[in-house]
Chain A
Amino acid sequence: EVQLVESGGGLIQSGGSLRLSCAASGFTVTSNYMSWVRQAPGKGLEWVSVIYIGGSTYYADSVKGRFTISRDNSKNTLYLHMNSLRDEDTAVYYCAKGTNSGLAFEYWGQGTLVTVAS
């Protein structure tokens, strides 16, 4: 059974850094593309970043240069390193496993809340 469990969220000061983790089970994080998607309180979903099987990474303009997606194959875990955090980064962050075809997001974690306080 595929499971994704995020952790690492919390309250952080504006300008600070945080690392989110997404522990995967039931599959390997290198077997498909993986993404981070966030949702500000009471708002819609926003795609944040993707890492492909080969390791290539891409970001939304809103986080480019500040966030870094990575993975640890030995721990079967996906990460999101967030620097220079801003108030507008406050959101629930979900990790998601990509579909085998169709460029969609098949499985999602339960999310972890990041609150940036100025």
Chain B
Amino acid sequence: QSALTQPPSASGSPGQSVTISCTGTSSDVGGYNYVSWYQQHPGKAPKLMIYEVNKRPSGVPDRFSGSKSGNTASLTVSGLQAEDEADYYCSAYAGRNTWVFGTGTRVTVL
């Protein structure tokens, strides 16, 4: 149950796009289409932004999109806004009724 690998930080100017990668193995990210992404502002609970690789829950702006290729998933935030500045975590179902989270990426809006 090793954590999925994410870059520690990412940044972009308002209006630009930022993409965060999430690398796992064939036992988690690559093994199932059950990758999700969470946004967490300081001192707050995580919020689900993407599930099943590329589906958005109701209320999540379509500026947020997800994809997957092999053992690596990605979250893209287009049209960056100030309120997008937060920590982002990926998560994947890892089989045998367990889940694994990523190491987290801090997104800074310049």
Contact = CB atoms under 8 A, between A and B. Distances in A.
Nearest to A96: B46
Contact of A108 (B1, B36, B47): B47
Contacts of B1: 60-62
B51 interface: yes
Given A44-B89, A47-B101, A61-B1, A99 B48 contact: yes
A104 B92 CA distance: 8
B68 interface: no
Contacts of A47: 91, 98-101
A111 B16 CA distance: 33
B46 A108 contact: yes
Interface residues of A, number: 26
B46 A45 contact: yes
A47 B96 CA distance: 13
A56 interface: yes
Given A60-B1, A103-B99, A45 B51 contact: no
A44 B34 contact: no
Contacts of B47: 108
Contacts of B52: 101-102, 104
Contacts of A25: none
A29 interface: no
A110 B41 CA distance: 12
Interface of A: 35, 37, 44-47, 50, 52, 56, 58, 60-62, 94, 99, 101-111
Given A45-B40, A58-B96, 20 more contacts: A37-B46, A44-B89, A44-B101, A44-B103, A45-B38, A46-B101, A50-B98, A58-B97, A58-B98, A60-B1, A61-B1, A99-B51, A101-B52, A102-B36, A103-B34, A104-B34, A104-B36, A105-B38, A105-B91, A111-B45
